[in-house]
Structures are given as structure tokens and as C-alpha cells.
Amino acid sequence: MGKKEYWEIGYDLDGKQRMGSWQIKEIVDLSLQPRERIEERFLSELPENTKSAEVEVKVTMFPTPQMELLIHRVMKKLDFEK
């Protein structure tokens, strides 16, 4: 199982904000512009003779450390032929 998480810079390991977005923007612009896409690839080894697998992709946003907003979710079933 693979998982990739993106975290907002400016926060410490405890989730406390140490830098504001205006301060971060002066250092580096990491924003994803409207309609801009990022392509990611994950490789995962499945057990031999696996006939199918389910893949779930979620885009979430955390406006506060305690609040999670689901932006988009896609689930697909992959069938493998031999």
C-alpha cells in the first residue's frame, strides 16, 4: 500500500503555525494554480495471482489542524488479466 501526503509549510511537527502564508510566499511560491494538474505515479507490488485491486485517491484540506475537508475522492477497481 502506498501513500503520499503533502503538508503545508510553516507548521511545526505539533501542527502549530510558525509562519504565516504571507511570510512563506516571500520565500517560495508552492501554490497550485486553478486548473493546474500534478501527475503522480506510485508503484506497488501485489501478491502473485492478484486478480483485482481497489485504488482510492483523496484530496483533502486542513484549514485547521483539527478540521479535515474532503475536496475530491475517486475510487477505481482495477482488474488484471493473465
- pLDDT reported for residue 22: 64
Q: How confident is the model at residue 74 (pLDDT cuts 50, 70, 90)?
A: very high
What is this structure's pTM? 0.50
CA-based max dimension of the chain: 54
Tell me the average pLDDT across 4-30. Answer: 69
pLDDT at 1 over 60: no
CA distance 68 to 61: 6
Q: Where are the domains of the chain?
A: 21-79
d(CA 50, CA 71): 31
Confirm if 59 and 72 have CB atoms less than 8 A apart. Answer: yes
Over the stretch 28-71, which tens digit does the pLDDT of each residue have?
A: 666 667 788 878 787 788 898 899 999 898 888 777 778 889 98
Confidence of residue 75 (pLDDT cuts 50, 70, 90): very high
